[in-house]
A and B are shown apart, each in its own frame.
Chain A
Amino acid sequence: MADLYFADEGALRRYKAKKIIVSILLYTFVTLFALFMLLPFVFMLIGSLTDAKSFDEFTKTANFELIGFNKWSFSNFEAIFSGQIVNRITGATEARPSFAQYYLNTLITAVGSTAVTVVTAVLAAFAFARLEFKGKNVLFTLLLATMMIPGELMVLTNYKTTKSLDWEFTFSALIFVHGVSVFYIFYLRQTFQQIPNELYLAAKVDGVGDVGYLVKVMVPIAMPTIVTIIILSLMGAWNSYVWPLLVANGGWKYDKSYNMQLVSNGLMSLFNSDIANGLDAIKIAGSMVVTFPLFVFFLIFRKYIMKGVSRSGIKG
């Protein structure tokens, strides 16, 4: 802050008063907007904890006593995880897949696809950043051009290819079809390029080969970027919806009890199920269960995620 000089005491006082008023206004606005941002989460928390029948009553009467603390329980979460949903309005019961199953499917997909994506991205970025070969620029331009192309264009053929490979309802379809990300290659290439050339030459002098240099020098230096990619890729897999809906929605191909759905698709099918009709609180609990793990993940890796996202935003 620069030192400001004022003509007299009055001017200084006016300046200070103005500053206080401005900061009060700033905080008021920012706080109000923060409350707007938090409203859906608060609603989600209250809704998921309220007994399903009381919540249904609440939506019809707007009687806030119905969603008070004394009505709270974990019954909705029990229903979500046991898969036994009793429609307390009609009395009907239905066994649905447990959300634990969705968790497991999503976790396997997320870890698998992240591993494949990171390995392919590191290797490809290394070639583009450090090695010289014919056709490098053409290939790289081609890669960048694909970033413009809407995914729907590729989904059509990929769906058919998946069927021909007999990958439907398998993790292969979920993991390998998106096994490479042009954006991550691009992002990682830029980090690799910032590593000074001298290190490469020094490694050569020491008799370290190209791959050895990548593993021993480049990967450790670029670790923050790689961690960012891992985190973004895990989050992307957790939230993916359209592709799993096409290739792994349910598991009736092999047997009814076999379920391949990921969390988003499982959630969607819960919303659609007749049994959850009128049980909005259970649906909200489902949403909560899908959102919560990512929240915990975010709070643990907050610094990495926010730094990584803002950096990838500027450079991407």
Chain B
Amino acid sequence: MAEKAIKLPAVNYDDIRDKKVIGKRRRISLPQWAVAWIVLIPALIFLVLFMFYPIINAFFMAFINDFEFVEGAGSFALGSFFKSLEEPCVNWNLFHPDVCDMYRRMPSFGFNNFVYLFQDAHFPATIANTAILVVVEVPLTIIVSLVIASFLNNIKALKGLYQTIFFLPYVTNAIALGLVFNMLFSHTPGGIINVIITGLGGKPVNFLNPSAYEYWVGDELKAVLPPASKFNQAIVIVTNSVWSGIAFKILVFMAGLATIDKQYTDAAKIDGSSGFTIWRRITLPLLSPQILYITITSFIGAFKMYSGVMSVYTNINGSGFYFGGTEGYDWMPVVGWIYKQMDPSSGNLSKPGIAAAGSLVLLAIILFITVIQFAVSKKRVHY
């Protein structure tokens, strides 16, 4: 088909941008940078007030020795710092009127909060707890979702139904489901998992209960269960986390698998490669960007675990700070410990300086993991 060349006048886009071309309707127009800052205002107000400022403030809180908020100084850490400098000398000692300064808590900068962290009976253990759970559950969740996504990719009938079922945990409330997991893994005869175990001929297991339990069925004492071991509790925590974690990952992997060109796998099939070889040599490398993304975000997310772990203990002790064992510290994650320091039930944050220092340690761990993963991924990921 012959096309008629239409001659368009040469347009100078810069002129358009500066509105030189538009002559008729004159209106006041702001320069672009002004428009930009105006539309940014709403977001910036919230960002500055509730994000940038709190982050900077947390650094002050962490590095002011034994930091506490002073009445009337608001949320600004340095405000509390200076306010406590000005504290009037209250003399409690009638016999030595000049002694008051000795008891006054002089604010100072230093590492006291961090020293407290590592002298604490539980904080170092919470780092270890979190690390163990992360190292077990993140790879497990990724492998399970990778396998299921690959399987789902190879079936046709009912694919949509299965996808929906596997996605359900994404839209369930973690706390509601924690209670259900707690009951499924109940040590009582009615605990479904124990029904299955005993039905298969095994001995009942005490998964979560911190005290020993006499396992009566009817009038017969079947067994005396010892208090739940750390290992048994971890089974429940990891199961819960795999259960709720695979939804998102399967979805991302499925989306990645859909983009892989069928040519590659078909070519390999013609060459007589087995299904597993194709998966190992073609699918997996082509999926590596998604795997990297999921690995990094999962490790970061998992180090911040809190409600997932807390929720499986809800029906034993729902304080929000109970994480198994008689003391409640068996599997306490870092974030759980930090929240316990804040404990606002008294109407004030109890140890803000220490909580801030703990959060900074968590931040350092997360940064460290991310840097390592990016370094490793440079060699491993195919784009």
Contacts and interface: CB of A to CB of B under 8 A. Distances in A.
A43 B192 contact: yes
B35 A211 contact: yes
Contact of A58 (B190, B248, B363): B190
Interface in A130-189: 131-134, 136, 139, 142-143, 146, 148-161, 163-164, 176-180, 182, 185
B33 A133 contact: yes
Given A280-B315, A291-B176, A59 B186 contact: yes
A36 to B, nearest CB: 8
Contacts of A142: 52
Interface size bracket, A side: 35 or more
Interface string B264-299: 001101100001000000000000001001100100
Interface in B352-367: 352, 355-356, 358-360, 362-363, 366-367
A291 B172 contact: yes
A161 B42 contact: no
A164 B252 contact: no
Interface string B141-157: 00000001001101100
Given A22-B275, A124-B43, A313-B251, A59 B189 contact: yes
- The listed residue with most A CB atoms (<10 A of its CB), out of B17, B186, B290, B359, is B359
A30 B145 CA distance: 11
A260 to B, nearest CB: 14
Given A59-B191, A310-B254, A153 B155 contact: no
Contact of A241 (B40, B164, B174, B342): B174
Contacts of B342: 155-156, 159, 246
Interface string B291-331: 00110010010001011000000110011100000000000
A310 B155 contact: no
A235 B248 CA distance: 14
Contacts of B165: 34, 37-38
A161 to B, nearest CB: 4
A74 interface: no
Contacts of B167: 306
A60 B195 CA distance: 12
A92 interface: no
B35 A205 contact: no
Interface stretch (A79-87, A220-228, A261-269): A261-269
A158 B50 contact: yes
Nearest to A273: B318
B69 A160 contact: yes
Contact of A294 (B171, B175, B180, B216): B171
A5 to B, nearest CB: 9
Contacts of A310: 251-252, 254-255
B75 A242 contact: no
A90 interface: no
Nearest to A263: B173
A37 B243 contact: yes
B151 A314 contact: no
A146 B51 contact: yes
Contacts of A110: none
Interface string B45-78: 0110111111101100100000001000011010
A47 B183 contact: yes
Contacts, number: 309
A41 B183 CA distance: 12
A267 B175 contact: yes
A36 B246 CA distance: 12
A62 B217 contact: yes
Contacts of A60: 188-190, 216
B166 A34 contact: yes
Contacts of B22: 204-205, 207
Contact of A306 (B163, B190, B266): B163
A309 B256 CA distance: 13
A40 B252 contact: no
A93 B273 CA distance: 69
B24 to A, nearest CB: 8
Given A60-B188, A60-B190, A311 B47 contact: no
Given A43-B184, A148-B370, A287 B173 contact: yes
B50 A127 contact: no
A251 B162 CA distance: 43
Interface string A274-316: 0000001001101110110011011000100110011101101
Residue from B36, B57, B218, B306 with most neighbouring chain A CB atoms (10 Å): B36
Contacts of B314: 268, 271
B227 interface: no
A77 to B, nearest CB: 14
14 contacts: A34-B166, A37-B166, A39-B192, A131-B35, A132-B32, A148-B300, A156-B58, A160-B69, A180-B46, A180-B51, A204-B22, A267-B175, A288-B176, A290-B173
Interface of A: 1-2, 4, 22-23, 26-27, 29-30, 33-34, 36-41, 43-44, 47, 58-62, 116, 119-121, 123-124, 126-127, 131-134, 136, 139, 142-143, 146, 148-161, 163-164, 176-180, 182, 185, 201, 204-205, 207, 209-211, 214, 235, 238-239, 241-242, 245-246, 263-264, 267-268, 271-272, 280, 283-284, 286-288, 290-291, 294-295, 297-298, 302, 305-306, 309-311, 313-314, 316
The 4 closest A-B pairs by CB, nearest first: A160-B75, A287-B176, A59-B190, A157-B54
Given A1-B262, A177-B50, A271-B179, 14 more contacts: A30-B148, A37-B169, A40-B180, A123-B40, A123-B43, A149-B55, A160-B352, A211-B39, A242-B339, A268-B318, A287-B175, A287-B180, A294-B173, A313-B294
Interface of B: 13, 16-17, 19, 21-22, 25, 27, 29, 32-33, 35-37, 39-40, 42-44, 46-47, 49-55, 57-58, 61, 69, 74-75, 77, 148, 151-152, 154-155, 162-177, 179-181, 183-184, 186, 188-192, 195, 216-218, 243, 248, 251-252, 254-256, 262, 266-267, 269-270, 275, 290, 293-294, 297, 300, 304, 306-307, 314-315, 318-320, 335, 338-339, 342, 344, 349, 352, 355-356, 358-360, 362-363, 366-367, 370
